[in-house]
Amino acid sequence: MIDHTTQQQMHKLTTTWIMLKLSYGLMPIVFGAAKIFNLLTNWQGYINPTVLRITALSPVHLIYIVGTIEITIGLIVLSKFTRIGAYLIASWIIVAGTFFAMGHHYDAVARDLVMAVGALALARITEILHDMRTS
């Protein structure tokens, strides 16, 4: 049987998990849709020209692909596969955030790396809660 203090700690951890899950699930969906519908900013301005040469894609098509990936990962985070989605979003933030912005937008790269740490925290908390519930 779980004592009262443990229940309180589990409640705090669960509340934190819900906040992270919603943040890392909804924000990729919102920003992915913004990329697809060209809202909020000129997303093409964030693309490293080297990426365009390597992929041979137009900026518009590359942004559509990025937006679709972000929406998909956001949906995975919001599903019962939160842990996997959190690792995917952390990886995506690191790879896409640094690769696409390489050479400029260093402020965005720094912000993205911190966001990746938060996504990794979501994955770890998901694992901890799973272990606590199944033990």
* Predicted local confidence at residue 19, as pLDDT: 97
Q: How confident is the prediction for the chain on average, in pLDDT? A: 90
SS3 annotation, 96-119: HHHHHHCCCCHHHHHHHHHHHHHH
Q: Over range 30-38, report the average pLDDT.
A: 94
- The token duo for 67 is 């937006």
Could you tell me where the DSSP H helices lie in the chain?
A: 4-36, 49-55, 59-78, 82-101, 106-134
102 close to 52: Cβ distance less than 8 angstroms? no
Q: Domain limits at 54?
A: 4-134
34 close to 43: Cβ distance less than 8 angstroms? yes
* 58-101 pLDDT, tens digit each: 999 999 999 999 999 999 999 999 999 999 999 999 988 777 66
How far apart, in whole angstroms, are the C-alpha atoms of residue 85 and residue 75? 8
* Predicted local confidence at residue 3, as pLDDT: 80
106-134 and 4-36 are packed helices; what angle lies between their axes, rounded to 10 degrees?
140
% of the chain with per-residue pLDDT over 90: 59
Total tally of structural domains belonging to the chain = 1
* Predicted local confidence at residue 1, as pLDDT: 57
Q: Over range 38-47, report the average pLDDT.
A: 85
pLDDT of 102 above 70: no
**Among 33, 23, 18, 11, residue whose Cα is nearest residue 118:** 23
SS3 72: helix
Q: Over range 103-130, report the average pLDDT.
A: 88
Residue 110 or 64, more confident = 64
Residue 1 has, within 13 A of its CA and on its CB side, a CA count of 2
What is the number of helices (H) and of strands (E) in the chain?
5, 0
Residue 27 or 47, more confident = 27
